[in-house]
Chain A
Amino acid sequence: MSIIKKSFLGMGLTSIIWTYGISHVVNALEVIGPFTLVSIRFFIAFAALSIFHKFYGIRRKIDRKDYYRLVLNVIIGSLIYYGISNFTIIYLSAVDSATLSSMQLIFMLWAESMFLGSIVTPKKAFYVVLATIGGILLMKGIVFSLTSMKSYILMLIATCFWVAYHIIQLPLLKKYKATTIIKYQCLYSFIATMPFIFIEDNNFNAMNFSHIASFLYLGIFGIALGYSLNSYALKNIGPTNTSFLLLLQPVIIMFVDLISFGRAFTLSDYFGFLFIFIGMILMIIDIMKDKKEITIGDVV
C-alpha cells in the first residue's frame, strides 16, 4: 500500500477516534477540570508510547537544538489548545465542536501558503472552501447566549492554535519518527499541566469506571494513536490534506445521531454532506494526480 493511501486511512481512523473522543471528554469533565484532563491524557499517552518504544525500539533522541520547537509545540498544542477546547466543549454540541475544529482546514491552507510558502492554486482553494462550507452547514442550532457565543469564538481561537501546532511540528517530523515526537511532547505536556491537578476543583471521589475508561480512551487512542497517525499523515501528505480528512468528524456524528436517535436530516445537512463529499473527492483526485504536491520536503 502506498504511503499516501496509508496516510488517508490513518487519518480516517483518527477522525473516528477523535469524534468519539468528544463524548468521552464531556464524560471526563464531569469529575475533573479541563487542564487536569489534559494532564491525565498526556500521562496515559506517554506511558502507552513508552511501552510501544520498549517493544519496537526508539530511533533517536531529540537533539538539544530542537527542544525549543518541542517546548513551543507543547505550549501551543497541549496547554493552550487543549485548555481552551476542553473548556468550550462543555458548552457546545458535539457536532458543532467537530465542525468548528474542521475550520482548521481553511486556516491550515492559509497558514501553509503564508508560512511554508506552499503554492495554493485557486482550484485547490475552491475545493477547501467548498468542503469547509459543507462542514459549516452541518452545524446545529445554538443556544443564543453570551456563554455559547464565547465558546464558539474560543473554539475558533483554539483551532488557530491547532494550526500553529502543525506548522511548528513539520520540521520536527522531517528529522524524527512521529511516535518519538509525540512521546516527548506527551511527557512535557504532562509535566507542564501537572500542577493543575492540585489547582483545579477536581472531584476524584466521584470517579467511576466510566470516567476511567474515558481517560484511557482519550489517552491511548485520542493522543498516543491519534496524534501519531495525524503526524504520520502530516509528514506524508501535508497539513491541508491531513486536515481535509478531519471533516469526516461532523459527518460521523451526524450519522451516529441518525442511527442512534433517529434524528432526521435537514436540507442544510444534505447540502453539507454534498459539499464535503465533492470537495474531498476532488482533492483526493488532485493528490493522486500529482503525488509530489505538498510534501514536507517541498514545503519546509
Chain B
Amino acid sequence: MKLKNKLLLAFLFVGILPSILLGFLILYESNAAIEALEYKNMYAHMLSLSENMNNIEEYNYGNEMTIVIEEGDYTNIEEDTLTCIGRIEADNDYQDYGNIKIGKIDHTLYGAKLYEGENRKIYHFHNVIGLNSSLTNLGTIFIKMSLIIITISIGLSLGLSHNITLGITNLVNYIGKVEKGELDFKIPMEKDDELGILTKSFSKMTNRLNTLVNQTLKLEISEKEATLKALQAQISPHFLYNALDSINWQLIEKEDYETSEILGSLSEILRYSIDSKDRMVKVSEEFKQLENYLRIQKNRFEDRLDYEVIFDETLERYYIPKLLVQPLVENAVIYNVEKSFADITINVSCEDKDDHILISIEDNGIGIEQTKLEKLKEDLKRGVKDAKGHIGLLNVNNRIKLIYGNEYCLSIESSSKGTIITLVIGKITSK
C-alpha cells in the first residue's frame, strides 16, 4: 500500500472513530441525564408537596406539571384529567413512562406515585411537545455535529496526507529522473522540515553529480579530440605503417643508420600515440616523444629546423596527461617551418616551480599578429573553441583546466621575434 493511502486510512480512523464514539457517548449520557433530572425534580416536588399540601393543586413549571390530589376530592380537576388519572390508577399505581392528555395538551408522564397512608396521590407530568422538542434538538445537533466532524476529518486526512506525501512523491520523481540519467533539472526548495533538508541534500548531490559527469564527459571528448587530431594529422597508423615498411626496405638495402634512427623515432611515436591504456604518462616520456617528433621533422626540413628539448631531471617522478604538449610543438612546426622559408629554432623545456610544473615551447618564428593574439587570448580565457583555428591550443588549455582546475592554464606571448607558449600545471605523482 502506498504511503499516501496509509496516511489517508490512519487520519480517517484517528479523526472519525473517536468522534463517532464521543457522539454516541454524549447522546447516551445526555439522554440518561435528562431522565435522571426529570425523576429527581419529580420526586423533589412530590416530597415537598406531600408534606405541605393537603388540597388538590396543579403546579406548572414550563413543560412540567405536578398534580396533588387529596383522595376523594376531585372537584377542581377537569373531566379529561380525571379520566386520565383514573386510567393511570386503574393500570398501575406506579408508572415510569406514558403519554396522557390533560385538558387539550399532550403530556408525557414521567412518574405517577401513590403515597400510601398519606391519603393523597401525587402525579408528575411532562409536556410531551416540549420534551420531544428538546430531544429532537439534541438529536439534530448530534447528527449534524457527527456529520460535520466526519466531513472535516476526511477533508483533513486528504489535505494532510497530500501535504506530507507531496514532498516524498516529488523526491521519488526526481530520483526516477536521475535513475534514467537525467541530471540537468532544478529542484524547487519549498519547506524547511526534514523532508526539505532531504530534498536539499539530494539537490546538492544531483548538482555535484551533474558537474562531475559534465567534467568527465568534456575531458573524454577533449582527449578523444586530441588523440584523433594527432592521429589524423601526423600519426595516422596507416600512413606510419606504410612509411615504416618502406623505410625498412631502404634500410635493409642501403644499411643507412641515419634513416634507421628516424624509423626508431617514428615507431616510438606510433606506439605512444596509439597506446590507449594510459591517460597519464611521465613527464620524461612525453618529452622523449617530443624529441622523437622533432627529430623526424628535422630530418624532413634539414637545416631549416633546429630544436632543443630540455628535461629537468627533478620532474622524473611526475605525471602529465598524454599528448598534452605534442599539439603545441606540432603547431610551432606547422605555423613557422611549413609556412615560411626562414630558419626556425624550437626550444621545449620544463621546470620545477614550487608546487607546479612549468613547460614552455619557444620558437623564433614569424609570431602571431597582434589582433589575432588578442582574440586567441580572449578565447583561451573563455574556453571557447574557435572554429577558424587554434583548436589545438584551446584543446590543451581546456584539458589543463579540467584536469588540474581553473587556476592552471596555458599562456601565450608572441611578437615578430617569435612565440612563447607556457603551460603551468600541477604536480601529479601517480597515474
Complex interface residues of chain A between 263 and 296 (CB less than 8 A to chain B): none
Taking CB as reference atom, which chain B residue is nearest A132? B151
Q: Does B83 contact A (CB under 8 A)?
A: no
B154 touches A144 (CB 8 A): no
Contacts A106-B154, A136-B151 given; indicate if A144 touches B132 (C-beta within 8 A): yes
CB of B5 within 8 A of chain A? yes
Contact A141-B140, Cβ < 8 Å, known A103-B147, A121-B162: yes
Any A CB within 8 A of the CB of B12: yes
B130-172 residues with Cβ-Cβ distance < 8 A to A are 132, 135-140, 143-144, 147-148, 150-152, 154-159, 161-163
Q: Assess whether B8 is interfacial by the CB under 8 Å rule.
A: yes
A 253-267 contacts with B by CB, 8 A = none
Does B399 lie at the interface of the complex (its beta carbon under 8 Å from any beta carbon of A)?
no
Nearest CB of B to A228, in Å: 29
Q: List 9 A-B contacts (CB under 8 A).
A: A100-B147, A103-B147, A106-B150, A110-B8, A110-B154, A125-B155, A129-B155, A137-B144, A143-B136
Asked whether any CB of chain B lies closer than 8 Å to the CB of A35, the reply is: no
Nearest Cβ on chain B to A172's Cβ, whole angstroms: 23
> Does B162 lie within 8 Å of A122, measured CB to CB?
yes
Q: Which of B8, B135, B138, B140 contacts A113 (CB 8 A)?
A: B8
Report how far A107 CA is from B143 CA in the complex, Å.
Answer: 17
Among B1-21, those with CB < 8 Å from A are 2, 4-5, 8-9, 12
Q: Does A139 contact B (CB under 8 A)?
A: yes
In A111-139, the 8 Å CB interface with B consists of 113-114, 117, 119-122, 125-126, 128-129, 132-133, 136-137, 139
Residues of B within 8 A of A110 (CB): 8, 12, 154, 157-158
Residues on B with beta carbons closer than 8 Å to the beta carbon of A144: 132, 135-136, 138-139
Check B158–A113 contact: CB distance below 8 A. yes
CB distance from A106 to the nearest CB of B (A): 5
| Interface status of A109 (Cβ within 8 A of chain B) | yes
Q: Which residue of A lies closest to B20 (CB)?
A: A153
User: Given the known A-B contacts A120-B162, A125-B158, A144-B136, are A139 and B144 also in contact in the complex, defined by CB atoms under 8 Å?
Assistant: yes
CB neighbours of B5 from chain A (8 A) = 114
Task: Give Cα A113 to B157, complex, Å.
Answer: 11
A227 in the interface (beta carbon within 8 A): no
Q: Which residues of A contact B151 (CB under 8 A)?
A: 103, 106, 129, 132-133, 136
Contact indicator B148/A133 (Cβ below 8 Å): yes
Q: Which of B8, B137, B155 has the most CB of A within 10 A?
A: B155
Contacting pair A136 B8 (CB below 8 A)? no
Provide the bound-state CA to CA distance between A121 and B155, in Å: 10
Known contacts: A114-B5, A133-B148. The answer to whether A126 contacts B143 by CB under 8 A is no
Verify if A152 is at the interface (C-beta below 8 Å from B).
Answer: yes
A51 interface residue per 8 A CB criterion? no
Number of interface residues of A (CB under 8 A): 30
Q: Does A9 contact B (CB under 8 A)?
A: no
User: Given known contacts A141-B136, A142-B140, A144-B135, is B148 in contact with A109 (CB within 8 Å)?
Assistant: no
- Minimum CB–CB distance for A298 against chain B, Å: 15
Smallest beta-carbon distance B173→chain A, Å: 13
In the bound complex, residues from chain A placing their C-beta under 8 Å from that of B135 are 144
Chain A, residues 81-117, CB within 8 Å of chain B (1/0): the string is: 0000000000000000000100100110110011001
Min distance, Cβ A1 to any Cβ of chain B, angstroms: 32
Please report the C-alpha to C-alpha distance between residue A99 and residue B64 in the assembled complex, in whole angstroms. Answer: 35
Complex CA gap A109/B157 in Å reads: 11
Query: Could you mark each residue 28-44 of chain A with 1 if its beta carbon is under 8 Å from any beta carbon of chain B, else 0?
Result: 00000000000000000
Residues of A within 8 A of B161 (CB): 113
Q: How far is the CB of A24 from chain B (nearest CB, A)?
A: 25
Give 18 A-B pairs besides A110-B157, A122-B162 with Cβ atoms closer than 8 angstroms.
Answer: A103-B147, A106-B151, A106-B155, A110-B12, A113-B158, A113-B162, A114-B5, A117-B2, A120-B158, A121-B162, A125-B158, A125-B162, A129-B154, A136-B147, A139-B144, A140-B140, A141-B137, A144-B136
A120 to chain B minimum Cβ distance, whole angstroms, is: 5
Query: How far apart are A100's CB and chain B's nearest CB, in angstroms?
Result: 8
- Closest Cβ of chain A to B58, distance in Å, is 28
B148: A residues at CB distance < 8 A? 133, 136
Complex Cα gap A106–B152 (Å): 9
CB-based contact A122/B144 at 8 Å: no
**Cβ contact within 8 Å between A126 and B144:** no
Specify which chain A residues have a CB less than 8 angstroms from the CB of B154 in the assembled complex. 106-107, 109-110, 129
In whole Å, how far is B152's beta carbon from the nearest beta carbon of chain A? 6
State A103–B158 Cα separation when bound (angstroms).
15
B132, B138, B140, B156 pick with most chain A CB within 10 angstroms = B140
- Minimum CB–CB distance for A98 against chain B, Å: 13
Within the assembled complex, what's the spacing in Å between the Cα atoms of A109 and B154? Answer: 9
Contacts of B140 in A (CB 8 A): 139-142
Q: Most chain-A CB neighbours within 10 Å: which of B2, B135, B148, B158? A: B158
User: Please, how many angstroms separate the alpha-carbon atoms of A262 and B144 in the complex?
Assistant: 24
Residues of chain A lying within 8 A (CB to CB) of residue B12? 110
Asked whether A152 lies within 8 Å of B4 as measured between CB atoms, the reply is: no
**CA gap between A142 and B9 in the complex, in Å:** 31
- List the 6 closest A-B pairs by CB distance, nearest first: A129-B155, A122-B159, A144-B139, A144-B135, A125-B158, A132-B151
